[in-house]
Structure 1
Amino acid sequence: MDQHTFDLSKIGAGLPVARSQAQLERAARTGAMVVTAPPGTGKTTFVPPLVANVVGQRIILTQPRRVAVRAAASRLAQLDGSELGERVGFTFRGERRVSARTRIEVVTPGVLIRRLLSDPGLEGIAAVVLDEVHERSVDNDLLLGMLAELRTLRDDLTLTAMSATLNAQAVAELLGGSEIVYVPSVLHPLQIDYEPFAGARLDQRGVTREYLSHLADVTLAAQAQAQAQAHSDNESDALVFVPGAREVDEVVRLLRARGGSVDVLPLHGRISSKEQDRAVRGRLKDQPHRIVVSTSLAESALTVPGVRLVIDSGLSREVRRDAARDMTGLVTVSASRSSAEQRAGRAARQGPGRTVRAYSEADFARMPAEAPPEILSADLLDAALVLAAWGAPGGRGLSLLTMPPTGAMDRAEGVLKSLDLVDGSGRITPQGTKVSRLPTGVRDARALLSGATELGDAQLSAEVVAACSDDHRASDADLVGLLRQLRTGRAPGAKRWQHEARRLERLAREAVEGDERTGSTTLTTATTDAVGTVVALARPEWIARRVNSSGRAYLFASGTRAAIPEGSSLQGSEWIAVYEVQRAEGRSADGTGAVIRLAAPLGEEQAIHIAGSLVAHTRDARIESGRVRVRERRSLGAIPLSDTPVTPRDTDTGPAIAAHLREEALAALRWSDSALSLRGRLALIHREVGEPWPDVSDSALLDSLEDWLGPDLRTLRADASLHGIDVTSALRRLLPWPEAARLDELAPERLRLPSGGSARINYETDTAEHTGPVVAAKLQELFGLAESPRLVDGRVPIQFHLLSPGRGPLAVTSDLASFWNGPYAQVRKEMRGRYPKHPWPEDPWSAQATALTNRRLRQQ
């Protein structure tokens, strides 16, 4: 066999996927394929070397997490019989083991994205294999779109997408209609049992201690049963799935505390590579039985050998964004049914297995079918910069499995502009290009580079970013104290931090080499403030000021409020720069709804210098005691800096009155009879006809204040009165033309009466209890009128309030004919004695309508 060719018969021995070798080779030669294979078939082990043999050159394999990268590379190198880093190597953040002879390089999606941004053509790479694309992380989705676009320019680039569960057709279409290879599963018997928990699995703080204790009990009982029933020594190792690293450590502690001859091992991204290798290596014959407690990374990305028993918590971590508080984080939620099925399948990879779900069948039925794509709920800041660097700002013009939500992407692009990483049109800036190529998130990279230039201290910037970005945390949230412990080696993970800080410092110096230092002496301060300066450079909008000297609450420039932990050494700091916030309730949050988890003190001058784009000057003009009062305010975002009373200007009057009207409503204006009449007439026509006749309700008039009242407000002097505005003239600005010519025809101000006189028409403006247009007139002036006149082209009848000669109410009617033929007789009987000087004819139909007395009528 050629020394450059992988021995597929050796690598694929015992792997179900090897039975599909011919089909896989045929599909790979077409240039693109989608491989869907259940867990346990060996696709991660077999397909990459097969593709490498087909293309004959170097290929890249992606794995979703660093643990899986190392495990996949180690397994392939072992099967190939070569040293790790020779024919098979790997790269992830902080570690790289490759050589000139490397044929398969295993990387995380983030590493490949940054390589594409630095080398869009992927020179020297013949193929890319994307594994576990079903997880639908933002990076996986971006990679699919970017590589599909690259392949239109490089038809010699072979692309393969692999997954255990996958919408294969959608991915195949994205890759240009590639062939789909379905690898059949191995049908080992799998027993699924349920051990539900009577209490609550989750509370406000996450997974309950009681449920974790239940998981430990179920695990020990199930493994004891498995050992008793096992046919061989290799059939009773257990794998326990919990949602996060904290839960892994707690369940490991509980299992170890219960004793026994079992080797209990954690598996998550925070433990050392040595501990990770131990967990995924498998048990030797002379070692005790094992229980591996893992996060979801063991769900599909890697295999833990020897496992025939799975205990599933039914919980997972998913990204959730709290837009109101500008916070994104991982939250514990119910896993999907698809995830639960993959976890269960781990027990039957190598033979008959058993899965115990530590929840009820009803809980399983309520699980969502699939986990939603991360792009729908994640903070898209990093993705937005990647897309801008790729030349597809906001994802426009790039084909993706799921397009990013418009609102979230707009917010992300707005932050990039505020950090000077993209320009006004969304194109990446030179600084943005440097940031996009650093192996950290956007905010950390920006702080690293700006700290190295503006602060002039690449070492400190690297130390701060290394501490913040690698899960090092202080119980009192004080970053300065945490750095002190890390430097002296007293904090957990200090060696890892030192290695990462040195690496970031080297990258920062390389990135800014040749740049002139742009910082001023305001950023060259004591170390305490310098730490806060680096943090503030990462998140200017999370610069915060203490609300009051006696409390723990801080107000952020973004408008968010959060509290430092009780007893924190940050208590005396008026200004702080915040790196991490977590939603919380109760006493710990001091009534703010969130707790600050990592922050550093900051001086006010530094705060204003760093967040200069957030500094705003406003003039607030208001009506107080009938006069215009003005205050000039200066703020850093939502944080007030100064508030000073100043002398009003003529230009302040209009805005002050407009604000006053929005607060006090339109009743603050002086409404004349003509203004009320005009508003009522317009309200009636709008109600009956609609557009273009204007809506003159309170809410509509307040919304359109500038349209009808603006010209008056702009001409008012500082000493002018609100009552001096001619509201009638202002309302006439809303009249539609040429339709306004029919205003008097549709809704006249007055009604001509049969007596020859006229009466004012009252137009009711209370739309909640509208009774229509009303005319109040003496009964005698309407003799002979059989039908109520109708307005708005006959749509609305006038309602008459019939009055006595003394202007007292007699009747209300919109149907005069019915009144004359009925109630009039009773009214005549009661009124003729009281008002004998006025006509009360028996027959109102034939009587003369008049406003005169009987005597005056006879004199005519």
Structure 2
Amino acid sequence: MIRYDALAALPVRGALPALHDALEGHGTAVLVAPPGTGKTTLVPLALAGLLGEGPARRVVVAEPRRIAARAAARRMAWLLGEKPGASVGYTVRGERVVGRHTRVEVVTTGVLLQRLQRDQELTGVDVAVLDECHERHLDADTTAAFLWDVRQALRPELRLVAASATTDAEGWARLLGGAPVIEARGVSYPVEVVWAPPARPVRPPHGMRVDPALLAHVASVVRRALTERDGDVLCFLPGVGEISRVAGQLGALRDVDVLQAHGRAPAAVQDAVLSPGARRRVVLATSVAESSLTVPGVRVVVDAGLAREPRVDHARGLSALTTVRASRAAARQRAGRAGREAPGTVYRCWAEAEDARLPRFPAPEIKVADLTAFALQAACWGDPDASGLALLDPPPGGAMAAARSVLTAVGAVDPAGRATERGVRLARLGLHPRLGRALLDAGGSGTGASGTGVAGAGGPDGVAEVVALLSEEPPREYGDDLVSALRAARRGGDAYGARWRAETRRLRATLGEGDGRRAHGVPEDSLAGLVAALAFPERVARKDGGSYLMVSGTRAELSEASALRGAPWIAVAVADRPVGKGHARVQLGAVVDEATARLAAGALLAEREEVHWADGDVVARRVERLGAVELAVRPLRDADPGLVRGALLEGLRQEGFGLLRWSAGADVLRKRLAFLRWHLGEPWPDVRDDALHARVDEWLEPELGRARRRADLARIDAGQALARLLPWASGEAARLDELAPERIVVPSGSRIRIDYDDPGQPVLAVKVQEMFGLQRSPEIAGVPLLVHLLSPAGRPAAVTADLASFWKDGYKGVRAELRGRYPKHPWPEDPATAEPTRHTKARLGK
């Protein structure tokens, strides 16, 4: 019996006529409806004609999460007075509740993607509704693009609705060919904002880590809210681990039930969250409760201000969820939960001044996530680079290139990026392509396309168990050893164990039923490592000192208590990067041997000659490598001359041209050339290190070509080689001694060496008496020399670039200071007219 009273109370009912008109006239529509208006439950029923109005249609509703899909289907079935599986059913991974007469089917976006890949026409479906578009999940964006392709190319009669509480309505309307935007008004109640920051600063989130001090503060704010306000409390936290810790800190609250709402919660707990309670409740939830679910009875929201988003560290080959500050849009959504049924309150666990610094919207997954699965979906759809897909944001080029590299390595795409037969099968497994590769190759269904040659190594039962464990990261209390975690899942009676068993059954069915054994010829411990290595070949790692070196080149560490410590080889399945560290930290892995490492990462196995500069000399060797890991090394006697030359050049870059033999004359020649380049420019050569490296072929050959080691460099006459850069062709080289002489004749007749250490202004260091009578400072190439006037003992007495001024003003002070100290030397009163000399008075006959 249809519950018309409940249906009539849903505000979205007023928008139904406009929505029907939009779909009849345009075929697409964007529905913007606030939370609690009934867009997820009433609209599909109306579009399917199940409320006695309009034609009978089959409607598919895509939700971003399994918990939301099941909840929506149950709510619609309740509104019709039925049970799920009659007029309304649902399909999520591993669970299908649909009957012969089902007209509304609620699915996850992942399930709808799989269905579209199998049946691009989406046969039998009249209307597709994409719910919660604002969350910008990658599967949802991809599904929308595929559905638009279907409507454009195959089924123009297919109706599409993009529905959300808050969304970029104009962007979605544009994406759906100028679709009309229908807005439904909701019944909203005022929500008071209480700013409740921690009393002392807390550390910002990093990776999956959240400061325990913040979680303790959130628990205290929940207790405060229970005291200050009436009604149930909905507390938003970033993940399951944080929910569990806060639940433990709340302890046994008197006359209050503490419930945990997240995608991993048992069905019974999810049902309890979505139903009114007999006692007051505290519901600890992830972002799943922002918009996908309605939690009745909530009058208070406590917002920790954090969220989880996917991130990829391409430099280290790591991809995982990371904790970030929640966006302002998410904060508004969360606060709105307190005002669904009556006026409410939101306690925000951050300072009001911080609010303006929060990001406006969450980052679209396509911009930050691992795109391997997306790239495979696009390739199977026939658009390998996704350039023809109707997407709100294009995929980043670097992330797509990294994704194609992975897909090529597992044999999913050909060199042109098109999906192979193996790739199509991988796309239909409902797994990340990495895990799909492991399932097929280790489970006996591999085609050999990935180049591993391990098909049939395991067997459906055991392989399915390990892959199921990797498809949803197990609880941290299971430990970091994959084998131990597998045994914990088998004996565990927790919610994770139940989901793991369901996924294992699904994967076994995908491969074909096993024979009851968990592996064929492969011990259980070895099988776990093989599967992990096949899924993550670049994360196979060998012990190297106190850490492990992955074949990708990233270093990884194990915790002190890890059961994996001491193993020569491991395969890393899950890792993160600790705060302030450049290496990874292993969260889940398995022991493997070298043979398994070679098998799984065979595409990275290579043997080549390596000649490089190390420890101050040329090192030549033949190296067998598995990526960055050296497996075997042998000395190389007859290395390729080109590689040797490159190593010598690297040595010159690292240690400088001081490796060559620099006589005093060679050193002075380089400085003279630097002076001419500074003041005259071309054709005089640039002799700085970078410039000399750029022209090494012109001045250091053939000597460099004959060299084999550091000692050979030390025998190369740098001055002779450098002379090759002089401008011989123009004839200017002949003027070198004229423009930049090594020595200059001073008034006394002495030939004094010029110091070219500073190319901007060379220095002439000469005794005062040898410059008597000279009115102007000497010049070279039109540049006045900086004259360092010395005492008779050769010590600096004065510095000048203007001798005339010095004789007039500075000389008197020098004469007064030095005349008594050096009485045997002439100190005339008028040096400008005195006879220059390099002798004492006695030698002069005075």
Q: Secondary structure at the match of 1:165?
A: coil
> What is the count of residue pairs matched by the alignment?
814
Structure 2: how far apart are the matches of 1:747 and 1:12?
102
C-alpha deviation, 1:557, in angstroms: 1.9
C-alpha deviation, 1:128, in angstroms: 2.8
Query: Is it true that 1:476 corresponds to 2:485 in the alignment?
Result: no
1:183-582 matches, cutoff 5 A: 183-199=184-200, 206-207=209-210, 211-220=214-223, 222-223=225-226, 226-227=229-230, 236-255=231-250, 257-260=252-255, 262-283=256-277, 287-452=278-443, 453=446, 454-456=454-456, 457-473=459-475, 475-488=478-491, 493-509=496-512, 525-548=522-545, 553-582=547-576
C-alpha deviation, 1:268, in angstroms: 0.8
Counterpart in the other structure of 1:98: 98
For the structure 1 residues 620 and 787, does the alpha-carbon distance in structure 2 shift closer, same or farther, using more than 3 Å as the test?
A: same
Instruction: Check the 8 A contact 1:801/1:811 in 2, yes or no.
Output: yes
Counterpart in the other structure of 2:757: 764
Instruction: Check the 8 A contact 2:239/2:286 in 1, yes or no.
Output: yes
Instruction: Check the 8 A contact 1:447/1:534 in 2, yes or no.
Output: yes
C-alpha deviation, 1:837, in angstroms: 12
Q: Structure 2 regions of 5+ residues with no counterpart?
A: 447-453, 514-518, 842-846
Structure 1: how far apart are the matches of 2:59 and 2:746?
99
Q: Secondary structure at the match of 2:429?
A: coil
- Encode CA deviations 1:638-661: one digit per residue, 9 max, x unaligned: 333233444354736434433433
Q: Which moved more, 1:800-809 or 1:499-508?
A: 800-809
Counterpart in the other structure of 1:45: 41
Structure 2: how far apart are the matches of 1:105 and 1:732?
84
- Encode CA deviations 1:6-39: one digit per residue, 9 max, x unaligned: 9997784212222222332233331333222222
For the structure 1 residues 818 and 94, does the alpha-carbon distance in structure 2 shift closer, same or farther, using more than 3 Å as the test?
A: same
Instruction: Check the 8 A contact 2:478/2:488 in 1, yes or no.
Output: no
Structure 1: how far apart are the matches of 2:683 and 2:179?
56
1:731-770 matches, cutoff 5 A: 748-750=739-741, 763-764=756-757
Structure 1: how far apart are the matches of 2:441 and 2:522?
15
Q: Which moved more, 1:158-167 or 1:801-810?
A: 801-810
Counterpart in the other structure of 2:626: 636
Identity %: 40
Q: Structure 1 regions of 5+ residues with no counterpart?
A: 1-5, 228-235, 511-520, 855-860
Structure 1: how far apart are the matches of 2:430 and 2:285?
26
Q: Secondary structure at the match of 1:40?
A: coil
1:606 aligned partner, one-letter code: T
C-alpha deviation, 1:131, in angstroms: 1.8
Structure 2: how far apart are the matches of 1:247 and 1:701?
59
For the structure 1 residues 99 and 605, does the alpha-carbon distance in structure 2 shift closer, same or farther, using more than 3 Å as the test?
A: same
C-alpha deviation, 1:465, in angstroms: 0.4
Structure 1: how far apart are the matches of 2:496 and 2:462?
18
Structure 1: how far apart are the matches of 2:315 and 2:39?
43
C-alpha deviation, 1:472, in angstroms: 2.5
2:480 aligned partner, one-letter code: A
1:674-685 matches, cutoff 5 A: 675-677=666-668, 679-680=670-671, 683-684=674-675
Structure 1: how far apart are the matches of 2:48 and 2:100?
15
Q: Secondary structure at the match of 2:565?
A: helix
1:537 aligned partner, one-letter code: L
1:780-795 matches, cutoff 5 A: 786=776, 789=779, 791=781
Counterpart in the other structure of 1:139: 139
C-alpha deviation, 1:610, in angstroms: 1.6
- Encode CA deviations 1:573-619: one digit per residue, 9 max, x unaligned: 32121211234479xxxx99654222222111111122122234454
Counterpart in the other structure of 1:233: none
Structure 2: how far apart are the matches of 1:712 and 1:92?
72
Instruction: Check the 8 A contact 1:582/1:594 in 2, yes or no.
Output: yes
Structure 2: how far apart are the matches of 1:666 and 1:383?
51
- Encode CA deviations 1:716-760: one digit per residue, 9 max, x unaligned: 256961123343565578789999969968994438879899987
- Encode CA deviations 1:804-844: one digit per residue, 9 max, x unaligned: 9999877654335545665578889989x999999999696
Instruction: Check the 8 A contact 2:616/2:710 in 1, yes or no.
Output: no
- Encode CA deviations 1:785-806: one digit per residue, 9 max, x unaligned: 7476474xx7x65445578999
For the structure 1 residues 622 and 337, does the alpha-carbon distance in structure 2 shift closer, same or farther, using more than 3 Å as the test?
A: closer
C-alpha deviation, 1:504, in angstroms: 1.0
> What TM-score do you get using the length of structure 1 for normalisation?
0.81
Query: Is it true that 1:34 corresponds to 2:47 in the alignment?
Result: no
1:544 aligned partner, one-letter code: A
- Encode CA deviations 1:164-223: one digit per residue, 9 max, x unaligned: 222322333333333223333423233333444435665778445565455445435544
Counterpart in the other structure of 1:60: 60
1:815 aligned partner, one-letter code: D
1:129 aligned partner, one-letter code: V
Q: Which moved more, 1:666-675 or 1:339-348?
A: 666-675
1:531 aligned partner, one-letter code: A
Counterpart in the other structure of 2:591: 601
Counterpart in the other structure of 1:181: 182
For the structure 1 residues 737 and 116, does the alpha-carbon distance in structure 2 shift closer, same or farther, using more than 3 Å as the test?
A: farther
Structure 2: how far apart are the matches of 1:220 and 1:176?
50
C-alpha deviation, 1:136, in angstroms: 2.3
Structure 2: how far apart are the matches of 1:808 and 1:160?
92
Q: Which moved more, 1:730-739 or 1:645-654?
A: 730-739
C-alpha deviation, 1:664, in angstroms: 2.6
1:45 aligned partner, one-letter code: T
> What TM-score do you get using the length of structure 2 for normalisation?
0.82
Structure 1: how far apart are the matches of 2:561 and 2:827?
92
Instruction: Check the 8 A contact 1:754/1:783 in 2, yes or no.
Output: no
- Encode CA deviations 1:129-163: one digit per residue, 9 max, x unaligned: 22222222233333444444554435434332222
Structure 1: how far apart are the matches of 2:8 and 2:737?
91
Instruction: Check the 8 A contact 1:11/1:80 in 2, yes or no.
Output: no
For the structure 1 residues 764 and 151, does the alpha-carbon distance in structure 2 shift closer, same or farther, using more than 3 Å as the test?
A: farther
- Encode CA deviations 1:412-456: one digit per residue, 9 max, x unaligned: 333333333334444444333322232111211111112123240
For the structure 1 residues 14 and 614, does the alpha-carbon distance in structure 2 shift closer, same or farther, using more than 3 Å as the test?
A: same
1:116 aligned partner, one-letter code: L
Instruction: Check the 8 A contact 1:681/1:747 in 2, yes or no.
Output: no
Q: CA RMSD in A?
A: 4.6
Q: Which moved more, 1:42-51 or 1:731-740?
A: 731-740
For the structure 1 residues 109 and 762, does the alpha-carbon distance in structure 2 shift closer, same or farther, using more than 3 Å as the test?
A: farther
Structure 1: how far apart are the matches of 2:752 and 2:835?
18
C-alpha deviation, 1:298, in angstroms: 0.7
Instruction: Check the 8 A contact 2:679/2:760 in 1, yes or no.
Output: no
Match of 1:22 among 8, 12, 17: 17
Q: Secondary structure at the match of 1:438?
A: coil
- Encode CA deviations 1:626-684: one digit per residue, 9 max, x unaligned: 87553443332233323344435473643443343334332222234565455445645
- Encode CA deviations 1:688-708: one digit per residue, 9 max, x unaligned: 688998764345655776786
C-alpha deviation, 1:532, in angstroms: 0.6
